[in-house]
Amino acid sequence: MLRSIVFFFAVVIVLVAVFILGVHFFSSAFQQCVAQPSFTTYVQCSSKFVEDHNGAITALATVVMAGFTYTLWVATSRQGALTKEALIADRRAFVFPIGLNQFWERDPKTGQYNWRLRPGLLNTGETPTRRLRFYVDCEFRNSPLPENFQFIDGPARPGKGFLGPKATLYGGLAPQLQNAALSPQDLHDIINGRKYVYLWGWIRYFDVFPGTPEHITRFCWQILVTGDPFKFVPGQVPQQDPDNLNFSYLQTAQGNCADEECFRK
């Protein structure tokens, strides 16, 4: 805003200078009037020139005032837009996955425990979400995730929910319920570097401010496992025991972004 006002006044000063120089060098009446130059004569001749051309000068002043009013309106509108954008950015909902949750289910055939994973979702904003949807899946493979991996949604329907300010919510389960859970042998292969499992998905939602676009967050984690999955029994392995089963994760080089960054990718 300050830059626009300074620019306007600079233009006005230049126009006034051009006007004065034009009168001095191109007005024959003015040049005749100041044939015997002195400060008093110059002032008198300038006053006479202004009086003789008051209509044109008034029109020029009107144009200058209109230009100033327009510049001020543009600067004020721009400042208002910036203030609105700052308010939205400061208070809007922002949702991303945080924390890995794991759930066991007992296999009735083997008596051992299989596993499914679930990310936590956190809204760090000061306002709630609108029309929140999320999708979670996993990729269990024999090799690391390639750079050109295509994150394609499976047949499962996205989850729906609501996240208030500073609130958390569980995301979907993976492997999804129509697929087999991760077995102790799967975890054993992951621990020993023979298999790899990746948890990935997306979160889509709107904020409460009118006219703002839909937001999206994408994530992809490599799941790490330590301990002995064959010895796990709920509540019976002490936390400090090296055989205790623990899950953690690392962000991958691809599949992690938010909003405009996701659309550029």
| Domain segments of the chain as ranges | 2-91, 95-264
Residues constituting the chain = 265
pLDDT at 195 over 80: yes
On whether the CB atoms of residues 255 and 218 are closer than 8 A, the answer is yes
User: 138, 234, 241: which is closest to 190 by C-alpha?
Assistant: 138
Spatial CA neighbour of 221 closest among 134, 87, 117, 109: 117
The per-residue b/e assignment along 161-191, b for 16 or more CB within 10 angstroms, e otherwise, is: eebeeebebbbbbbbbeeeebbbbebbebbb
Cβ neighbours around 57 below 10 Å, total: 14
pLDDT at 263: 78
pLDDT tens, 202-246? 999 999 998 899 999 999 999 999 999 999 888 765 555 556 899
Query: What's the N-to-C CA distance of the chain in angstroms?
Result: 34
Q: How far apart are CA 55 and CA 72, in angstroms?
A: 26
Q: What is the pLDDT of residue 35?
A: 58
Residues 188, 230: contact at Cβ < 8 Å?
A: yes
Q: Are 122 and 136 in contact (CB under 8 A)?
A: no
| Cβ-proximal residues to 223 (8 Å cutoff; 6+ apart), any chain | 100, 117, 138, 190, 197, 198, 199, 247, 248, 249
Instruction: Kindly report the pTM of this predicted structure.
Output: 0.68
Q: Are 201 and 171 in contact (CB under 8 A)?
A: yes
Query: Is residue 15 scored above 70 in pLDDT?
Result: no
pLDDT of residue 52: 60
| Residue-wise pLDDT tens digits, 55-69 | 666 766 676 677 666
CA distance 62 to 70: 12
CB 155 within 8 A of CB 207: no
Q: Is 50 left (phi over 0), alpha (psi -120 to 50) or beta?
A: alpha
pLDDT in tens, 107-163: 999 999 999 999 999 999 999 999 999 999 999 999 999 998 999 999 889 999 999
Radius of gyration over alpha carbons of the chain, in Å?
A: 36
6 φ, ψ to 5°?
-60, -40
Distance CA 44, CA 38 (A): 10
Cβ-contact 203, 96 below 8 angstroms: yes
